[in-house]
Amino acid sequence: MPRTSQPSEVRQSLVSYAARILGMRPYFSGKLRQKLQERAQKMGFVAAEEVIEAIISELASNKFLDDRYLAAGYVRKELRKGWGPRIILLKLIRLGVDRETAQEAILTEADLPQQKEAISHYLKKISRYDPRIQTNKLFQRGFNGAAILNRFDSATQED
């Protein structure tokens, strides 16, 4: 049978849980919201949504949650791994980042020079393939056509 606890008890329990998991690693607000909802359900708290939203907004206003900062770091990390902006956008949305924040992070962190650098790094890994296959692989990894063509044009000029 679900517990009907005092709102202060629910809040205190969820705040301490949020502090503990945020102390281990940073989370996007969407993922933290999901974890708090799972925790509230596991503990049998009924109607904890308002409390969770208040906790999320309080943590965000105190800069313990910063989706923009985390999204920018995530974009840089995924670019280094050889993923393009389109795939990174889908990954960010899957992680619970709103589309506007994800697109803003991609615009600032994955501009054309950074994409060219990521493409160059990835092309070193797949250099054994024919240029057509390389181009196809780059499209599959989410790079846009302008960055791919720009990279191959500059490689042709260097030869």
pLDDT in tens, 48-106: 899 999 999 999 999 999 999 999 999 999 999 999 999 999 999 999 899 999 999 99
Question: What is the SS3 assignment for 48?
Answer: coil
- What is the reported pLDDT for 87? 97
Mean pLDDT of 116-135: 92
**pTM attached to this predicted model:** 0.82
Q: How far is CA 94 from CA 28, 50, 142, in A?
A: 11, 23, 15
- What is the reported pLDDT for 1? 41
**Residue the block writes with tokens 């795939």:** 87
Query: What tokens were used for 48?
Result: 């904890």
Which residues, in sequence order, are CB contacts of 42 under 8 Å at separation 6+? Answer: none
Question: What is the Cα–Cα distance from 141 to 143, expressed in whole angstroms?
Answer: 6
Question: What is the Cα–Cα distance from 30 to 35, expressed in whole angstroms?
Answer: 9
Q: What is the mean pLDDT of the chain?
A: 90
- Angle ∠(136,138,141) on CA atoms, nearest 5: 110
Mean pLDDT of 99-128: 94
Mean pLDDT of 31-59: 92
CA 60 to chain centre: 16
Residue 7 in this model has a pLDDT that exceeds 80 = no
For the stretch 92-124, what's the b/e string if a residue is b when 16 or more beta carbons lie within 10 angstroms of its beta carbon?
Answer: beebebeeebbbbbbeebbeeebbbebbeebbe
Question: Of 46-55, 83-92, 127-136, 150-159, which range is least confident?
Answer: 150-159
Mean pLDDT of 119-141: 93
